[in-house]
Each structure stands twice: as C-alpha cells, then as structure tokens.
A and B are shown apart, each in its own frame.
Chain A
Amino acid sequence: MARRVVITASGFILPLGSTPGEVLAALEAPHGPFERWAADRHVSVCPVARFDLRSYVGRCKNARYLTRGQQLCLAAAVRAVSEAGLGPHHLDRAGLFLGLGPNLQAVPREDKALWLLDCLPNTLAATLAEQLGLHGENLTIMTACAGSTQALGQAFRTVAAGLADVALAGGGDSRLSVEGVRAYRQAGVLATDFVRPEEACRPFDRDRSGFAIGEGAAMFVLESLEHATERGAKILAEVVGASSSLDGGSLTGPDPAGTSAARAVRQCLEKLGTRDLCVLAHGTGTVLNDEAEAAVLSGTVPNARAVCAFKSRMGHLASACGAAELAVGLVCAEAGRFPAIANLDNPAWPDLPLLRRPMALRPKNLLLQSFGFGGQNACLGLKKFKTGKDAA
C-alpha cells in the first residue's frame, strides 16, 4: 500500500522575494517587479534582485559549471533543507528530483578544461549531493516547462512507494541571458506591444500577446507522513497525486483541444476531488497556451473556487515555473489570501473562475498544472494536511 507523502519545507528564491513575508508583501502590489530587458527594450523581464550564491552555500568552486538557474536551485535546496531541520542522517538516503532547463550558453571553450560539465544535465545533482550529503534515488528531468512539476511528481511517487523516506524536489531556471532571450524571441512566445513592462504578461486576457521572462528556483522537502511525524516536523501540505502526459502534436504549441492535458488533470482530480479547489494554472499569457488551458479548465474544473496565474506576477520561470508557483501557492494558502491575476482586464473566458480580485481563501485542495513545449503536461494534487487514516 502506498504511503502518505507530505511537504515539510520549502526554499525559494523568486523575483517576488525569498521569504513568505517578502512574497506576501510583493503580492499586495497590483503588479509584479517587471522591467525592460537592458539588452532588448522590447522584452519584459522579472529578475531575482541581488542574488549571491555564497551567502547561501559559502565557497562553492563547482558553481563554475552551473548556470544561473542551477545556482538559484542550489541555494533554494540549501534553504529548504535548513528550513526542514534535516540533519546528515536524514539526508544520507534522501532522494533528489530536479526539473532543469538546458544551458543555452554552453559551448566548447579553449579556457575551460571541463566545459563538458556545462552541458551535462546532472552536474547540479552531483554538486547538490556533495554539498548536502544526499545519496539516494534521483532523477534530473528536462521536460521543458513541465520539468519541476514532474520532478515533484517523481519525488512523491518515490516516497509513496517506500524507495525513500525523504526526497528533495523542485527546480531552478533562468533564461535571462542573451541566448535565452533570443531563443524565446525567435520562437515568438514573448509579450510584445506593451507600454509598461509590468503590463506585458496578461494571462487569460483578450489582449494577451505572450509571456514575460522570469527566473528563480523553488525546492521542497517531501517526506513520508510517518517520517515527518516521528521527527515532529511541521507539515505544509499533503501530496496526493501526480500525473503527466504528452500531446503528441506540435513541438511547440499545445493541442488546442487539450485532450491529453485534461487527462493529466483528471488523473490528479481522482485523488483530489473538485470541491474547495484552487487551481494554480500554467497561465503563460500566450495566445495558444491560454486557449488550450481554458478548454482544459472548463472541461475539468469549471467550479473551482479560484484559478490563479502567478506568471502574471513574476514572469515565466521556464522549467522551474511549476515549483515556483507551488511555493507561492503554499505561501498564499497559509496566509489565507490569494492575489488577483494581474492585467486581467478583459477576460477571454468570463465563465471560468479566474481570480480577478484578491481573495481570502484557505483552500482544502490545490491543483498545480504545467504545460510545456513538446506538448509536455504535468500536474500535481495537494491537500491541506489532516491527521487521520486517509487524506480524504
């Protein structure tokens, strides 16, 4: 029988801040801290201000092989472990599940002997294992914008199956480089035609034109309920379901009908139910994503209490978006207050429960959905933790 799995800590470094207090304060503002990209004024970006890896990990010579996104992830992981109060004996067999993006700056170099490590996807896992003394089950998942949500799902399954009592999971990413911005520009997915950068990203709005680029990381500690209870850990939420699917259509845009995405959503809803549900939507603000996601939402959770779209407040964190949005969602759930979707002036789907005003809400159920390039879908279902025999 599968074991119950709970989240006992998070560590995050986001454009909105790196503590619950900072994030809540930032969400009180009508807009996120967006600005124009210095090297290309037509691009709206949402950077992490003043990030200093050393202040989290001290000296770290392996950082020379890590992207900025991976360094953010390393710092978030160290923070999560410290928040959880885990010691070396807990970490020795702990799992590690990372959702990461490609290093678009990796090229053969004359001045770096091991530039190969810049390209290998598991360099961060190796660095984290060394930093934190983690030696258990692990995966590095590079499934585009579904990566960190899938990583959380794999961590959940691993702990539920008894392959680890503790697992660290999430992701970190940054496309705020010349190469990253250029890649999105050429793919035609960025918001254009905006007057103010904080108004660029408009999820589910009739005038949406694309996303704004964020960066950051969020990592979580997942534990079997038994392990968490035995050590008296604080429980933030219970994970009850995880799913993923593939559209099998376009390499970039989603299947307009959202058939496979809806299947992934329904799989999570089997465990979660649809009552007292808050949806953390993918909500990129691209014409095609929101169209397909709206079809999924109206077919699966038309009666949700609220649908949030945090990308309107911190940009698109690429592979890290799911983990980052879960971190913000848990902060909001704990505080009992969810922010309105920014810039949703003219909803394209007025019948959907899109959050247009801040709402006092302590939802029993949270559904996280991430839909990436390649028709790559991933969902995670979470419940407010309740003691007793079963999560339901």
Chain B
Amino acid sequence: MSNPEDITASITDILADILDLDPVQITPETYVVRDLRAESIDLLEIGVAMQHRLDMEVDDDTLFLKNMRQVLARAAKAGKAPEEAMTAEYPHLDRARIAEILADREGGPVIKVRDLAAYAADRAGDRED
C-alpha cells in the first residue's frame, strides 16, 4: 500500500481506535500530542499498530522524532546546519516540513498526522524498491 491517501486513511483509523476519537477529528495537519493529547503509552501503541496493520518495521524514535532535541544539540555543537542534521536523521520529512518544524518547536511537540503518513510512505517505498 503506497498510495498516500490509503496510508493517511489507515493512520487516521489507527489513531481513532487507539485514542478513542471520531476519525473526522483527525486531519493530516492535526498535531498528535498537542491536539489529540496522545501520551507516551499511546505512542507505543500507535507504533505497534502501524507495524502490524501496515506490515512494516517501525522505529519509534524516528517515527515520533523522539531524539530531535539531541539531534539539534549535536548539530549546533558540531557547527552543522539544523536543517541538514534533521534531513539526515529523518529522511522521510521533506525540506519544507523540516523548516516548518524548526519554526514551530516552541509550541510543544511538533509531530503531526502527516509526519506519521510520510514515515509510512517512506517505509512502504523502501520495501517496494
């Protein structure tokens, strides 16, 4: 399943199931933590459900940008551009989204539904290669 719409629909279903929400409350622009109030236990379940339902290996650290602060701190120390470090660490995110994330960090956890979909599409693409 590499059709982006199918992937987004599957992720919406997973989030609705796990977080006990109506799927209409979930769009690609919805923040997973800020809007849907997912907690760490929920992220654990979302990762496992994606792995199971989308039949792909999932790395939670990458999927949920868990180490973003450390990645950026390391880049700053090494005198590297943050965009470059982010692209290397999170290859499923495009440049525009990385710029958005970097500008949005003060508002809390940045992860959006579309980031989960981008990760899944990237993994599905890998598998088909």
Contact = CB atoms under 8 A, between A and B. Distances in A.
Interface of A: 54, 59-61, 63-64, 110-114
Contact of A111 (B19, B42, B48): B48
B21 A114 contact: no
B45 A114 contact: yes
B44 A64 contact: no
A61 B48 contact: no
B48 to A, nearest CB: 4
Given A113-B44, A114-B41, A64 B20 contact: yes
A59 B21 contact: yes
Contacts of B17: 64
A113 B21 contact: no
Given A54-B20, A64-B17, A110-B48, 17 more contacts: A59-B19, A59-B20, A59-B21, A60-B20, A61-B18, A61-B20, A61-B42, A63-B20, A111-B48, A111-B49, A111-B53, A112-B45, A112-B48, A112-B49, A113-B41, A113-B45, A113-B48
B19 A61 contact: yes
B47 interface: yes
Contact of B52 (A60, A63, A111): A111
A110 B52 contact: yes
A114 B45 CA distance: 7
A60 B19 CA distance: 8
Contacts of A114: 41, 44-45
A70 to B, nearest CB: 15
Nearest to B44: A113
B47 A113 contact: yes
* Most chain A Cβ neighbours within 10 Å, of B20, B21, B41: B20
A54 B20 CA distance: 9
A106 to B, nearest CB: 16
B52 A64 contact: no
Contacts of B49: 111-112
Interface in B37-77: 41-42, 44-45, 47-49, 52-53
Interface in B9-28: 17-21
Contacts of B19: 59, 61
26 contacts: A54-B20, A59-B19, A59-B20, A60-B20, A61-B19, A61-B20, A61-B42, A63-B20, A64-B17, A64-B20, A64-B45, A110-B48, A110-B52, A111-B48, A111-B52, A112-B45, A112-B48, A112-B49, A113-B41, A113-B44, A113-B45, A113-B47, A113-B48, A114-B41, A114-B44, A114-B45
Nearest to B39: A61
B40 to A, nearest CB: 11
A59 B37 CA distance: 12
A110 B48 CA distance: 8
B11 to A, nearest CB: 15
A63 B19 CA distance: 10
A113 B18 CA distance: 11
Contacts of B18: 61, 64
A56 to B, nearest CB: 13
Interface string B81-101: 000000000000000000000
A43 B48 CA distance: 37
Contacts of B52: 110-111
The 5 closest A-B pairs by CB, nearest first: A111-B52, A113-B48, A113-B44, A61-B20, A59-B20
Contacts of A110: 48, 52
A64 B15 CA distance: 13
A62 to B, nearest CB: 9
Contacts of B48: 110-113
Contacts of A113: 41, 44-45, 47-48
Contacts of B42: 61
Nearest to B47: A113
A60 B18 CA distance: 10
Contacts of A60: 20
A353 B47 CA distance: 61
A267 B75 CA distance: 73
A244 to B, nearest CB: 35
